[in-house]
Amino acid sequence: MKEIFGSASGSPGSTPPAALAAKVRTLAPSMTRSMQRVAETVAADPAGCAALTVTGLAELTGTSEATVVRTARVLGYPGYRDLRLALAGLAAQQQSGRAPALTTDIAVDDPIADVVAKLAYDEQQTLADTAAGLDTVQLGAAVTALAGARRVDVYGVGASGLVAQDLTQKLLRIGLIAHAHSDPHLAVTNAVQLKAGDVAIAITHSGSTGDVIEPLRVAFEHGATTVAITGRPDGAVTQYADHILTTSTARESELRPAAMSSRTSQLLVVDCLFIGVAQRTYEQAAPALSASYEALAHRHRR
């Protein structure tokens, strides 16, 4: 019966897996030559050794299994198995340590793995920035307006048009009457119908997209509550907006157009609006959500 470990799960009782190199140095003098060879090999490449069995490590160091096990004992582990686990831990730590070298731009010759990492990192950054910069008072006001709205119109063209549609889809699912407009003419035509109690939302990264500002102005002048989701809180769109929700912008580059990060940012804002409204209208939203889920179930194959 081998393998005795304390019952406690995450107990930090055992040796902190760091300082392995130091331990090797300290204990080396008290080891025999073969054991030193093993210890040094292990200290030099924890990751590599973690992948080896006793036999493998014995061969690699030109020794025997017994020696490897003895070395593990000297290093303070019950046996090789546990040394190996510690090694794996060490390797993982080392690897995660040297992570944040991702500040560079995406280059034309970046390997695909780097592209993934950099993009993910950038978008995470965008999300953090957006969350930090979002004015919760304005957001709350916008949510209140939406929760009591008779009708909601959302304007957005280009990439922002998709965000507008996303918001619309979500609001519809919780029983609100919402429309997305990406055709500027139709948008204006519809905006004329709005009145007090209705909500109009304009989504534009630049804050100066005429096709989106125009319908918002009309809605504003007809007494609707207007919301602007924009990356430029000083843009032209804000002059017709009762509530301004600011999105954040990541540096753009040649390969990474601004539309990409602004979309991420806009979607977060839109999600916040949605959840906010769902909270306020919970009684009605919850059943509506599950109802729409049910309705789609049969569209899924086995």
Partner DNA sequence: GTCACCTTTGAAAGATATTTTCGCGGCGGT
Partner DNA sequence: ACCGCCGCGAAAATATCTTTCAAAGGTGAC
Residues 20-59, interacting with DNA (CB under 7 A): 32-35, 53-55
Residue closer to a copy of itself, measured from CB, 128 or 193: 128
Strand order from edge to edge, sheet including 243-246:
178-181, 152-155, 199-204, 225-230, 243-246
Q: Residue 192 or 271: which CB sits closer to a copy of itself?
A: 271
Query: 77-106: which residues touch DNA (CB under 7 A)?
Result: 78-82, 84
1 binds DNA (CB under 7 A): yes
Among 270, 156, 273, which residue's Cα sits nearest to residue 213?
156
Shorter beta-carbon distance to a copy of itself: residue 21 or 267: 267
Please choose which of a copy of itself, DNA, none residue 192 contacts, taking the beta carbon within 5 to 8 angstroms, the exact cut-off set by kind.
none
In whole angstroms, give the CA distance from residue 247 to residue 164: 14
Give every CB contact of residue 288 below 8 A, 6+ residues apart in sequence: 173, 174, 175
Q: Which is nearer to a copy of itself, 124 or 189 (CB)?
A: 124
Q: State which residue, 63 or 130, has the beta carbon closest to a copy of itself.
A: 130
Nearer to a copy of itself, 196 or 296 (CB): 296
Closest to DNA by CB, 84 or 243: 84
Least Å distance between CB 37 and DNA?
8
Report the alpha-carbon distance of residue 204 to residue 207 in Å, rounded. Answer: 5
Partner whose footprint covers residue 67, from a copy of itself, DNA, none (CB < 5 to 8 Å by kind): DNA
CA distance 212 to 186: 11
CB of 195 to a copy of itself, least distance (A): 26
Residue type at position 284:
Q
**With binding defined as CB under 7 A, does residue 208 bind DNA?**
no
For 17, counting Cβ atoms within 10 Å of its Cβ (0-12 exposed, 13-18 middle, 19+ buried), the class is middle
Rounded Cα–Cα distance for residues 249 and 28 (Å): 54
Which of a copy of itself, DNA, none is residue 95 near (CB under 5 to 8 Å by kind)? a copy of itself
Letters for 137-166 (x = contact with DNA by CB under 7 A, - = none) are ------------------------------
d(CA 2, CA 9): 18
User: 155's torsion region: left (phi>0), alpha (psi -120 to 50) or beta?
Assistant: beta
Question: Interface with DNA includes 240 (CB under 7 A)?
Answer: no
Q: Whole-number minimum distance, CB 73 to DNA, in Å?
A: 7
Distances 21 to 18, 24, 134, 167 between C-alpha atoms, Å: 8, 5, 47, 55
232 near DNA, judged by CB under 7 A: no
62 near DNA, rule: CB under 7 A: yes
Residues that bind DNA (CB under 7 A): 1-3, 32-35, 53-55, 62-70, 72, 78-82, 84
